[in-house]
Amino acid sequence: MKATDFLTVRDLSTKEILETFTIARAMKKNRAKYATALKGKTLALIFEKPSLRTRTTFDVGIQQLGGYSLYLSPAEISLGKRESVYDVAKNLERMVQGIMIRTFAHQIVVDMAEYASIPVINGLTDYSHPCQAMADYLTILEHKKTLKGLKLCYVGDGNNVAHSLMFAGARLGVNVTIACPKGYEPDAVATQQALDDAKKTGAVIDVVESPQEGVKNADVVYTDVWASMGQEAEAAERKSIFQPYQVNAELMKRAKKDAIFMHCLPAHRGDEVTADVIDSKQSVVFDEAENRLHAQKAVMYQLMKRVK
């Protein structure tokens, strides 16, 4: 991996993404083999947003590689308020060998990566969720045995998850359709970047308004919550707007018969997805959640092994 940080999926080439999957699958198959891969190295975990999967998988992951984790809560750092991003970066680079940050503004992780001489991993921002996308496509590869030429339809808000699914799909030759209401499309710059990358792999990146049109012949149907963290005040309005975008059994019938269902979690059963879909045999949401651990271990290993 040539990248020194992992801020978006676009930081990695197609080859590097696939190599990361190979390492992740090897780690999943034989955990003991990598038990000392990052022996003695410490990862600082900066959380401005709460999390179940991100906290657990990074914490457990670095320990399974022989390293340590240090959890830093908003109260302890308060980025940009108690201390500047620059000062935090310059302090931590002298004490730890890597930084994972889960925050709101994407510029914070960009700045952290610029200022810190050690690897910075984006655990989530409002713009990008690259670790989730790596776990998602690793899961698809496991279930479908291939990636290139598949169709993934994301139904819902054109948010950070949608961006990262487009970025990774474009790199991997997966056709990605985003089905969302008007006014809730993915960021225009993110969409254009995905379209540009897709030219190299032949992937088709599309944004449509109709969920029925979007999921037609899809190999993968994906959704996320209608109101993300920080959008709680819009929850009632969004529920009304996104109701036609609920992934239910009727919508799943429009996808391929062997289509799998995915969700980055947490899920609100009865809102963006019905219980009979997320709890069905087509659902791979818990495989997907587990693969956060393996994909992130592979990323940490490649970035942190070269830090002294």
Write out the catalytic residue numbers. 102, 129, 132, 224, 264, 292
Give me 85's structure tokens.
């991003």
Give CA separation, 1 vs 291, 296, 304, in Å: 20, 14, 11
Structure tokens at 138: 């690793």
Beta-carbon count within 10 A of 4 CB: 15
Query: Taking Cα atoms as reference points, which of 2, 8, 22, 10 lies closest to residue 172?
Result: 10
Sign of CA dihedral 280, 285, 290, 295: positive
- By C-alpha distance, which of 179, 161, 76, 80 is closest to 124? 161
CA distances to 188, 283, 307 from 44, rounded to whole Å, are: 33, 33, 14
Q: Which residues are CB-contacts of 46 (< 8 A; sequence separation ≥ 6)? A: 72, 77, 79, 88, 99, 100, 101, 102, 103
Distance between CA atoms of 196 and 189, rounded to whole angstroms?
10
